[in-house]
Amino acid sequence: AAAQADGHPHHHTVTVAHRGASGYAPENTLAAVDAADDLGIDWVENDVQRTKDGELIVMHDTTLSRTTNVEEVFPDRAPWNISDFTLDEIEKLDAGSWFGADFQGETVPTLEEYMDRVSDNHQKLLLELKSPELYPGIERQTLRELRREGWLDHRHKRRLIVQSFNAEAMRTVHRLRPDVKTGFLGTPAVADLPEYAEFSDQINPSYKTIDADYVAAVRAVDGAHGKPLEVYTWTVNDGPSAVSVAGMGVNGIITNKPDVVRDALDDA
């Protein structure tokens, strides 16, 4: 982005707390939402998947193993896929101890609990449909839950972006709710950008895959709502990298350490 009128080059770069402020609290828990809030960060990113009994929960991996004590509690249930466990079972798990003793007893949140906390904190949500190919119909189900919780009301829509690595899922989200802001996760070839722009407002690539020319090429294409495609890049956890990608003109930086990114941009 060009320098702003106040001479501050990164004034409008949005900082998004990746899986919450996951550098400081267990990822994708309410504690990580609150940790972002405590740092004054208003955008949080999460990952949404579905239990065996059809409930939407917030977790990154498709198995429960890395971020809970599932292997202790249910030793006979390998390979511990989320989709093989009911919500009741998942709610028995400790999703905090792996990160640190201070977080013992933290649970895996339902999407509804998660959204409530984001709302209570007056934060905004970058919601990722994670591996939606494993969960047929999760696009419609997620939108229904968002609508029920008021997230699709006119005055709240600016607080929500839905993203996925799965282009078909994003096409479906855009078809079902053309009013919802959407992002495609990945680094499409420049020639293919117009195709992605049919259903996306953002192209959200790994920061390791981009340079200033690529960011400019993305922003030269109009997205699904007629505005230039935005770029939110991930996962940038150190100050120099944050300054570098901001200099490329990205609109947003997704980070486990939002304070580090914000401070680096403020000082740049």
CA atoms within a 13 Å half-sphere pointing along the CA-CB vector of 24: 19
β-pair type (252-255, 124-129): unpaired
Compute the distance between CA of residue 77 and CA of residue 216 in angstroms, rounded to an integer. 48
45 binds ligand G3P (CB under 6 A): yes
Backbone φ and ψ of 164, nearest 5°: -165, 155
Residues 112-131 that bind Ca ion (CB under 5 A): 128
Alpha helices in the chain (DSSP H): 30-38, 70-73, 87-90, 111-120, 138-148, 167-176, 193-197, 212-219, 239-248, 258-267
47 binds ligand G3P (CB under 6 A): yes
55 binds Ca ion (CB under 5 A): no
Six token digits for residue 147: 């609508």
Residues 2-41 that bind ligand G3P (CB under 6 A): 18
> Which active-site residues does the annotation give?
18, 60
Find the binder of Ca ion among 27, 34, 42, 47 (CB under 5 A). 47
234 binds ligand G3P (CB under 6 A): yes
128 binds ligand G3P (CB under 6 A): yes
Residue whose CB is less far from Ca ion, 34 or 47: 47
CB–CB of 231/210 below 8 Å? yes
Helix or strand or coil: residue 21?
A: coil
Number of residues that bind ligand G3P (CB under 6 A): 8
57 binds ligand G3P (CB under 6 A): no
The residue whose Cβ lies closest to ligand G3P is 234
CB–CB of 160/146 below 8 Å? yes
Question: Which class for 14: exposed (0-12), middle (13-18), buried (19 or more C-beta within 10 A)?
Answer: middle
β-pair type (56-58, 43-50): antiparallel
> What is the contact mask toward Ca ion in residues 131 to 170, using x (rule: CB under 5 A)?
----------------------------------------
Residue whose CB is less far from ligand G3P, 206 or 244: 206
Residue whose CB is less far from ligand G3P, 86 or 129: 129
59 binds ligand G3P (CB under 6 A): no
42 binds ligand G3P (CB under 6 A): no
Residue whose CB is less far from Ca ion, 142 or 243: 142
**Site residues for ligand G3P per CB under 6 A:** 18, 45, 47, 60, 128, 185, 234, 254
